[in-house]
Amino acid sequence: VSRPEFSERRPTDALEREEGRLARWLVAPALAFILIGSLVPIAATAWEALHGLDLRLPWLGRPFVGLANFVEAAGDPRFTSALLHTVAFAGVTVPLELAIGLALALVMHAARRGRALVRLAALLPWAIPTVVAALVWRFMFDARAGILTPPLRTLGVVGESFDWFVHPLAAWVPIGAADIWKTSPFVAILLLAGLQAIDPALHEAAQMDGAGAVRRFVTITLPLLGPALVVAAAFRMLDALRLFDVAYVLTGGGPGTATEPLSLYAFIALMQRLRFGYGSALSVTVFLLTFVFALIWVRALGRSIVGDRR
Amino acid sequence: VRLTFSGSALGPEAAVVQRQLTRFAERHPGVDVELRVTPDAADQRHQLYVQWLNARAPDPDVLQLDVIWTAEFAGAGWILPVDAAVLDVDDFMPAAVTASRWRGTQYAVPWFVDLGLLYWRTDLVPAPPQSLSELREAARRLREAESARFGLVWQGARYEGLVTVFLEHLVAFGGGILDARGRVIVDEPAAIRALTFMRDAIAPDGFVPSSVLTWQEEQTRFAFQNGDAAFMRNWPYAWALLQDRVRSQVAGRVGVAPFPAGDGGRPAAALGGAELAVNAWSAHPELAWALVGFLTEPEQMLERARLAAQLPARRSLYGTSALAEALPIPIEQVRRLLDAAVPRPVTPVYNELSELLQVRLHRALSGQQTPPAALREAALEIRALLARSGLASDEPTP
C-alpha cells in the first residue's frame, strides 16, 4: 500500500490516519499473541502431521510423508470408531445440556427469594475441577461400593455381575452423566443472561391478552432466547467434540476402546506410543472437526439470527 | 566430577538409594553423585527419559530402566552396551538377563526383580493348586460355598498389568507372544486356549468377577485383604501389607505359590523389575559403569531387600541366610518362583505392542469379541507394527 503525502490531506483526515495508526499499534499485541499462541502451534502440528516421526525409532528418521498419516488414519478402524464416538457423544449430550441448562436458567430467573443461594447451588458443579468431578462419578458408578449399582442389583434391573465400566454401551452412561452434570450450569449462565435481556413488558402485554405461561414461553421466551441458545450450543459442541478428560478419568476409553474419543486416541498416539507424526495427524483431525463445525454453525445460524434482529 | 543417577524414589526406595549413592561418593574422592528424582508413574518417567535422551542430554549418567524399556533404548542407541570385562552377568537370573539384551548384546545390568505370583488362603484350601484346572475347581467351589465372594481376582484393567496376567496364562498353556526368532505367535491355539480360559473364568464360570476389568494391583489387594477373594494374582509387594494385622483381615492366613500350569505348559511368573544402564552421551562412562557395578553388588542388593523388600536379581543370594533374614516374604516360597520367571517380549516397540494387545484382550474379556477373533486381529496389528518399524521377524533377533 502506498502512503500518500501527509501534507496533502485535510486535517481531519490526518487525525483519522493518526488514530488508525494508533489503533494498529494497540491491536498488534493481541494479534501477536494469537499468532504465537495459537496459529504457530497449529501450523507446527499440521506440518509435523506431514512427517513420519517416531521418537522410539530414531533410526527411521523424520521423512516427509505427505498425507500418509491421514491415509493411515482413514484406514484405521480405531480412528473411525473414535470419530464416531466423539460425534455421537456430542450429538447426544449437547441437546440434553441445553434442555437442562434452560430449565436451570428459568428457575434461576424466576427465583424471587434466596436468589444468590439458588444460583450458587446451580453453578457449583461447573466450579469443580473436571478431574475431581469425574473421580466422584466414577465412585458413584462403582459396581460394589457405588450408590447406584447395588440398589439396581437388588431390584433385579441389572445382573449379579453387572459393572457399568465393563459393558461397552453402559460405560457411556457415567461419562455422559458426568459431562451433563458438569456443563449444564455453564449453559444456564449463558441462557440466564439471555433471559434477563428480554423486556418484561412483552410478557406483561401477552398476559393481558390472555396468553398462558406455556404460550408465552413458546412465542416470546424461546424466540428471543434464540441467539443465546445458538451461542451456548456452539460452545458446548466445540467442547464436546474435544471430549478428553472425563473419558480419560472414568473409563480410560475402555472396555477395549468402546468409549475412546478422538482426543484420547490422539493423546495415546502422541504421548504413549510417541508417534509424533501420526499423533499430530490425529490432533489435526480434532482441530478440523471443531473448525468445520464452527464454520457451518456460524454460517447457518449465526447469520440468520443476526438477520432476524435487524 | 559430578555423576547423576535417575530412578524411582518411591517410599523407602528414596532413602536406600540416597544412602548407597552417598557411600559410593565416599569411596571415590572427588566424585559427587546427584540423585535426580523422576515421577513415580512409570509411564511418565519413560516419557521424560525419551525426551532427555532424544535431545542427547549428557545427564543423567546412570538410568534406572523398567525391564520392558531396555530394548527400546538400546535399539535407539541411547544407552551403552555393557562391557563384559567390567561387569559379569553370569550370576544374574536368566530371565532378567534376557530382558536386558538386544540383538545379542547386553545393554543393562539387572538390579531387582518383580515376579507375578498366586496368593492363596491357607484357611480355605490345604495346599496351593497344582494346575489351572485345580485352581478353577477350588475357586468355583469356594465361591459356591460362599466361603469367599470372589474365587480369583487378577489385574484386568486395560493397562500393562493385564499383559503380565495374560502372559502367565499364556505360558501356563504353552504359548507365547513372540517366539525366539521374533515371530508373532499370539494367535496360535495355545494362546486362544489361554484367553478362552480367562474369558470363561469371568463368564460363564463366574469365579473371577467382571469388575476385575477395571482393577489394577491395589483393587485386587483390597478385595483379597478384606477376605473377599479366595485367590489373588499379584506381585510380592502385597505380602507385607497382607500380613499387617491392623489393616488386613487375612493376616497369618496367606500363602504364595507360582501361578500354576495348564495343559501343555508350565508355571509362569511374569518378570518385572528394574535394570541399570548408562546414558550413551554420558561425559563419564567409566565412572558411570563403576556406579552401576557398585549398586548391583550383593551387599547393596541385600540392603535394598531389607529396606525396600525388593528381590535381588542375583541368583546366588537366594541360597544365603542373609537374604532370608532381609526379606519379609518367606524365602523358600520365593525360590520356587525364580525358575518360573518369564520375560515379556524383548523389542524396541514393546510399549506399542503391549498397547495393541491390551485393547484386544480387553475386548475379548468384556465380551465384545471372541478370543480367537481378538487374538487374530492382535497378531495382525502386531505384525504390521513390527513391519512398519523395520523389526519384522526375518531380521536377526537375540
**Residue A130: pLDDT over 50:** yes
Give the tens place of pLDDT for each residue, A140-155: 999 888 898 888 988 9
Query: Could B54 and A58 be called an inter-chain contact, meaning their C-beta atoms sit closer than 8 Å?
Result: yes
* Residues A258, B43: C-beta atoms closer than 8 Å: no
User: In chain A, whose CA is at the least distance from the CA of B75?
Assistant: A57
Q: With a cut of 50, say whether residue A264 has pLDDT above it.
A: yes
Number of separate helices (H) and strands (E) present in chain A: 15, 0
Residue of B99, B102, B179 whose CA lies nearest to B379: B179
pLDDT beyond 90 at B3: yes
pLDDT tens for each residue of B66-101: 999 999 999 999 999 998 776 778 899 999 999 999
Q: Give A186's pLDDT tier (boundaries 50, 70, 90).
A: very high
- The distance of B72 to chain A (nearest Cα, Å) reads 7
Angle at B381 between CA B104 and CA B116, to 5 degrees: 60
Cβ pair A166:B359 closer than 8 A: no
Shortest CA gap A150–chain B (Å) = 13
CB–CB of B50 and A256 under 8 A? no
Q: Per-residue pLDDT tens for B300-354?
A: 999 999 988 899 999 999 999 999 999 988 888 888 888 899 999 999 999 999 9
A56/B348 touch (CB, cutoff 8 Å), yes or no: yes
* pLDDT at position B397 over 90: no
Do residue A255 and residue B211 have CB atoms under 8 angstroms apart?
Answer: no
Q: CB distance from A216 to chain B under 8 Å?
A: no
Does the beta carbon of A153 lie under 8 angstroms from any beta carbon of chain B? no
Q: Does the pLDDT at position B381 exceed 50?
A: yes
Residues B73 and B277: beta-carbon distance below 8 Å: yes
Least confident of A37-46, A112-121, B212-221: A112-121
Pairwise CA distance, residues B140 & B126, whole Å = 16
Please name which of A234, A247, A123 lies closest in space to residue A176, comparing C-alpha atoms: A247
* Number of continuous H segments (helices) and E segments (strands) in chain B: 15, 13
**Which of the listed ranges A55-69, A118-132, B174-188 does the model predict with the highest average pLDDT?**
B174-188
> What type of residue is B175?
G
* Beta-strand relationship, B311-312 and B2-7: unpaired
A273 or B96, which is more confident:
B96
Please report residues of A whose CB lies closer than 8 A to that of B366. Answer: 166-168, 254-256, 258
* Torsion angle, alpha carbons of A146, A151, A154, A156, to 10: -100
Confidence of residue B398 (pLDDT cuts 50, 70, 90): very low
Q: What pLDDT sits at residue A1?
A: 46
Residue B193 has pLDDT above 90, yes or no: yes
Question: How confident is residue A307, by pLDDT bands cut at 50, 70 and 90?
Answer: low
The verdict on a CB contact (< 8 Å) between A254 and B369 is no
DSSP code of residue A188: H
Q: Is the pLDDT of residue A5 over 80?
A: no
Round the average pLDDT of chain B to a whole number and report it: 92
Check CB contact of A60 with chain B, cutoff 8 Å. yes
Kind and range of the H or E run holding B120: strand B117-121
Residue A104 has pLDDT above 50, yes or no: yes
What is the rounded distance in angstroms from the CA atom of residue B68 to the CA atom of residue B89? 18
Backbone φ, ψ for residue B79 (5° rounding): -130, 155
pLDDT surpassing 50 at residue A69:
yes
pLDDT for B298 equals 94
Confidence bin at A309 (pLDDT 50/70/90): very low
**pLDDT 10s digits, B227-236:** 999 999 999 9
> What element of type H or E holds B123?
none
Distances (CA, A) of B229 to A285, B29, B223, B249: 46, 54, 6, 11
Q: What is the mean pLDDT of residues B370-395?
A: 88
Tell me: pLDDT of A51 over 50: yes
CB burial of residue B70 (10 Å; 0-12, 13-18, 19+):
buried
Look at residue A304 in the predicted model and tell me its pLDDT: 56
pLDDT (tens digit per residue) in B227-286:
999 999 999 989 989 999 999 999 999 999 999 999 899 999 999 999 999 999 999 999
pLDDT grade for A301, boundaries at 50, 70 and 90: confident
- Chain A residues in contact with B157 (beta carbon < 8 A): 252, 254
Mean pLDDT of B195-203: 96
**CB nearest to B368's CB, from A161, A252, A258:** A258
Average pLDDT over residues A53-59: 82
Instruction: Determine the pLDDT at residue A229.
Output: 92
pLDDT tens for each residue of A8-31:
556 667 778 888 889 899 999 999
- The residue that leads in pLDDT, A183 or B89, is A183
Q: Which three cell numbers stand for residue B206?
A: 463366574
Whole-number Å distance between alpha carbons of B27 and A254: 52
> B69: which chain A residues are within 8 Å (Cβ-Cβ)?
none
Residue A273: which of B51, B75, B351 has the nearest Cβ? Answer: B351
Q: What is the predicted pLDDT for the residue at A239?
A: 93
User: Which of residues B59 and B192 earns the better pLDDT score?
Assistant: B192
Average pLDDT over residues B161-167: 97
Portion of chain A with pLDDT greater than 70, in percent: 93
CA pair distance B323, B318, nearest whole angstrom: 6
| A163·B390 Cβ contact <8 A | no
- For residue A306, name the pLDDT band (cuts at 50, 70, 90): low
Would you place residue B393 in the very low, low, confident or very high pLDDT band (cuts 50, 70, 90)? low
